Structure 1
């Protein structure tokens, strides 16, 4: 049973009154006992005062704890998300909430390369020198707990609808090298419609912008792994980069990802370089504008022979000039050994080489031009069109082996009508000189053309419509006739 202090006080008061008014005779006889009672009453009073003070102290402490609990509960309510640049400025002091603590402490250094935000973005995955990035705001990144790293997990959902005037050889891709030739059973066939989501991408980007070495780990895949079926996994990139050294599976040093035109067609022009392979690459920046990369790469070549023979890796080198106002220029070269074993078990080798020059020129605030010129021998397997063929080496009719000569040109123009609408015109030509012992209907050359209109509905939501034209001719003069495709594509990116 709990006794309140006020109850004890009310019980002690009558004792004091009785002690004060006792008859004199009794007081005289019992003076010692009364003195003892008075002493007990005073001690009880002092004890009650101490108890009251302790109760007051506990009540104040309880009220303070209740207030702290209420504040903690309120702090767990969702906080408004701050822009990264605002949070970065706030990080000069101690973070005041979880959101500020989860963003990088500074904004990255923007690359001089023009980031064109194309529908098929080839620029984000590309490695950059120094601490350059095409996305200096680190949009979509969040901190990895107990580490100095930040990560962005992104998904680009995509759907494409196409209509071809005849059989194009591939329903989901537009590849002139695969067009059926006149006279073949596959030629013709009338109009054909297709709808697919194979261009959907998943990616992970890990960085540590505040640590020395400009660390980056990047992963990306799409679903073009099988031309005969939809949504088959295909790895595009998985690499790590640290102090300029890049190791993993990614694009060749010989490729230029910044010249790919802005097409709705996911495959892209026939004449660009597309090479995904295991690489060891080192990039050195001479200054803010000039840098060079050297790569040792897997010799992934394609020959018209029973078996290919590899003796040494491919060696690739590029040098780049980058300027935020004008754009960039890249000159690249590759050296390789092309080898094959014939049906008699004898090995044959030939020297392969290639040179390409590519640039993006910012002509005005609304107009830019992209160009790529390629020439060499034994390099057809890295052409975007001829990579579907045994286009690096073949046997002549006299049994000799040679690296096949190849050249290509690509030109594109981009015009921004407004912040939300842009158009592109693209043309590509790819030319291959097969060996005399190869099939007479083997690829000779192809043409590619595209014209489109792209609507940027929202920052991360795009819709494009495009007209495509393709043509292929074989060595004997037979051709595919003209192939037209109308395509509509929609892309939505989380970040």
Structure 2
């Protein structure tokens, strides 16, 4: 009897338990369905939110392009609906490009398509960052004195300890350049900021940055660090040699310049600049090389240019300066320096261009590409008088395009300096430079070239260096 009651109670409990489990299972199914519904709603809301964000970005982007002057300007340039700003000077695209960094009159530019420029939102500014990696491999017939460059003024003289007729070779990437160009072509005043550096800051060192240009241009004024008003950056011949011919003017310094465009083809520039000169203090009486160079006034210069896109350009420049030195006894000496420079790049035919440069003056040797490595602006004579040293140089270049991809340039330069009788007998008197190359322009921004160079140095006592030759291979790539 008790067993029957226990059995009945157990069956009742099992039935109740099964009923509860069935009810719980049904509740779990309902909860799972609710969870699935919630997850679906969540995914749908997330998708709607993402779509709203995308629409908002598109609206903002569209609004930015419609409202930002820089975007509008770039679109007008791309559509050809912008005033023509093409410079009368043709961009020759040299292996060593000295033209891009030069300031131009008015709003003129060598690249009216503004290739590589990006708009800065909510401003009228366009910016371009450019990197130009470069490698140079050279093999010399002897010791040139500066293996990473080709500088006749530094060639060892015959009989000196440094003279060597053994083959020398060198590899360098110091000619690599970094540029930043900032413009606002839609703004009155022809605004521009420009920066450029290479890596030739220290001799015999690899990749030490050297600032070449850092200046601003606005309403015809150029202020900062860049080309002297006396230098013509459009006349450098197309050499593979990064150093370039001995005879050209190399003067980069702090400047304040103003350029006045007289018409489409004529413009003039005046300016004053840091008086950076080099005096041979070892020539003073007593052979004491202590002393101090000092400046009474900045260098003052001017140039006049004629430019034609079809024919080329001609530039006539002049410079005046006061060269001063304080000798070992504390006495001050000074002399007047001056110079004239006539330079031209002329398009002879569709495939031929010639470059010419002639310089004459006194106390301007320190701005010559070769003699800038020497104390070549002033010195004392044997009577103790301080003099600005006479200087002259000539350079000729000829470029021929064999095809769209291949071109060659022949270059010759000669430099003369008249040192005093109190200077070292082995001091520089003249140098010669010659080169010939073949350049393969693989693409618009990629080029390789090979070049044969010749150089010689003559000292005032009749000594000279060996006739030195260099075979050079170079390659560069530019992003823009």
- Relative to the length of structure 1, the TM-score reads 0.81
Q: Deviations over 1:203-257 (max 9, x none)?
A: 1000000000000000000000111211111110000000001110111000000
- Picking from 76, 80, 84, the partner of 1:105 is 76
Q: How does 1:32-431 map to 2 (within 5 A)?
A: 69=51, 72=54, 103=74, 105-106=76-77, 107=82, 109-305=85-281, 306-431=291-416
Q: 1:73 to 1:195 in 2, by over 3 A?
A: farther
Cα drift, residue 333 of structure 1:
0.1
Greater CA drift, 340-349 or 421-430:
340-349
Give the conservation status (yes or no) of the 8 Å contact 1:102–1:142.
no
Counting matched residue pairs gives 421
Cα drift, residue 100 of structure 1:
6.2
- The Cα RMSD (Å) is 2.6
Q: Deviations over 1:133-167 (max 9, x none)?
A: 01111110001122110000001000000000100
Cα drift, residue 72 of structure 1:
3.7
Q: Deviations over 1:17-38 (max 9, x none)?
A: xxxxxxxxxxxxxxxxxxxxxx
Give the conservation status (yes or no) of the 8 Å contact 2:68–2:121.
no
Q: Distance in 1 between matches of 2:387 and 2:69?
A: 63
Give the conservation status (yes or no) of the 8 Å contact 1:352–1:377.
yes
Q: Distance in 2 between matches of 1:202 and 1:68?
A: 41
SS in 1 for 2:306: strand
Q: Distance in 1 between matches of 2:222 and 2:67?
A: 37
Give the conservation status (yes or no) of the 8 Å contact 1:448–1:470.
yes
- Relative to the length of structure 2, the TM-score reads 0.84
Give the conservation status (yes or no) of the 8 Å contact 1:104–1:143.
no
Give the conservation status (yes or no) of the 8 Å contact 2:69–2:122.
no
Give the conservation status (yes or no) of the 8 Å contact 2:68–2:123.
no
Larger Rg: 1
Give the conservation status (yes or no) of the 8 Å contact 1:104–1:150.
no
Cα drift, residue 309 of structure 1:
2.1
SS in 2 for 1:111: coil
Q: Distance in 2 between matches of 1:98 and 1:338?
A: 49
Q: Distance in 1 between matches of 2:56 and 2:408?
A: 50
Residue 482 in 1 paired to residue 464 in 2?
no
SS in 1 for 2:51: helix
User: Unmatched 5+ residue regions in structure 1?
Assistant: 1-58, 80-93
Q: Distance in 2 between matches of 1:98 and 1:209?
A: 10
User: Unmatched 5+ residue regions in structure 2?
Assistant: 1-40, 282-290
